[in-house]
Amino acid sequence: MRNESYYNRVTRVNELKLSTNLFDMNVLSLFDGMSCGQIALERAGIKVDNYFASEIKKHAIETTQLHYPNTIQLGDVTKIKASDLPKIDLLIGGSPCQDFSQVNIERKGLKGSKSNLFFEYYRLLKELKPKYFLLENVIMLPEHFATLTRYMETYPFETCGSLVSAAYRKRLFWTNIGSYYNDLLGFRHCNIPQPKNKKIYLKDIITDGYVNVKKSDALLTKRENYSNIKRVLKRHNKLPLGTIIYNDETYTINDKIRNFNHIELERLHNIPEGYTKHLSINKAHDLIGDGWTVDIIVHIFSFIDKSF
């Protein structure tokens, strides 16, 4: 799929449009990554007839096609036309967060070159008019929050991945899935309840070694090496960003220390074990770091009407 021309992809989609009936569940996932949305739909027991994905990162597409070979890859989001697609029932996506993120000093919001891709999601939302939508992004400045909320016409569901995993990952989800209420001005507020706390800790998900924190506070998209970790520890007497796994409870830098391995990365965000084993550890960090905490999405999807 990734080598097909856009024309050929559109031709295939048009063929699907002709065969689509009223009872098909069609999903369009923008900024799909390695398809955490597809994992969540499967885990939530929601049958999907056609899953369209927009993604440009090569190793993300390869990972998706390895596990979900029927995925219809559409490529660059800016080139997708609503008129080329069949009726879409669920539109999902996490538009780039870099210009909203707290680790970005400039924080240009929607004026940033990456986070302004939100407008591609918004364009397709308005053109396709799906029954359900879900937009994810990070905790952000109040003015950026207000702007996105105004565009999405609903206050988001705010939660943290630590409720269902061993990692802190606070996120916002603008969605029309689940219950809601209107405030005195008539503005919509998402009213999805918080997921049950599964009380999963780092010690529960590591394959060996010892950790001196209960939860992972950050997952880097670029893996730090041992020498850099030791240098930071020696110079500043504190942990670098990310989680360190020690040999044992003495947790001294004179012993072997390491970052997460593939299985631990996957367990950290509810990814099926072995999902990224074909990738280098750096590429696995990259995809999982950019992805979703899957069981949070499963929780949200549990409020979708499954009689589709």
Q: What is the pTM of this model?
A: 0.85
Q: In this structure, are 225 and 184 located in the same domain?
A: no
Query: In angstroms, rounded to a whole number, what is the distance separating the alpha carbons of residues 231 and 297?
Result: 38
Q: In this structure, are 181 and 69 located in the same domain?
A: yes
Q: Does residue 307 sit within a domain?
A: no
Q: Does residue 129 sit within a domain?
A: yes
Q: In this structure, are 193 and 207 located in the same domain?
A: no
How many structural domains does the chain have? 2
Question: In this predicted structure, what is the pLDDT of residue 170?
Answer: 94
CATH classification at residue 112: 3.40.50.150
Q: Does residue 175 sit within a domain?
A: yes
Q: In this structure, are 21 and 65 located in the same domain?
A: yes
Q: Does residue 1 sit within a domain?
A: no
Q: In this structure, are 69 and 217 located in the same domain?
A: no
Question: In this predicted structure, what is the pLDDT of residue 9?
Answer: 55
Q: In this structure, are 105 and 230 located in the same domain?
A: no
Torsion of CA 113, 115, 117, 121, to 10 degrees: -170
Q: Does residue 269 sit within a domain?
A: yes
Q: In this structure, are 169 and 218 located in the same domain?
A: no
Question: In this predicted structure, what is the pLDDT of residue 178?
Answer: 96
**Inter-residue long-range contacts of 290-293, CB under 8 Å, 24+ positions, other chains counted:** 290/33, 290/221, 291/33, 291/34, 291/36, 292/36, 292/37, 292/40, 292/94, 292/136, 292/171, 293/161, 293/164, 293/165, 293/167, 293/169, 293/171, 293/269
Torsion of CA 62, 67, 70, 75, to 10 degrees: -30
Mean pLDDT by 10 residues, the chain (308 residues): 48 50 77 98 96 97 98 97 96 80 65 78 97 94 92 97 95 96 95 97 94 79 53 51 74 72 96 98 93 97 82
Q: In this structure, are 97 and 68 located in the same domain?
A: yes
- Domain of 240, in residue numbers: 202-287
Q: In this structure, are 186 and 207 located in the same domain?
A: no
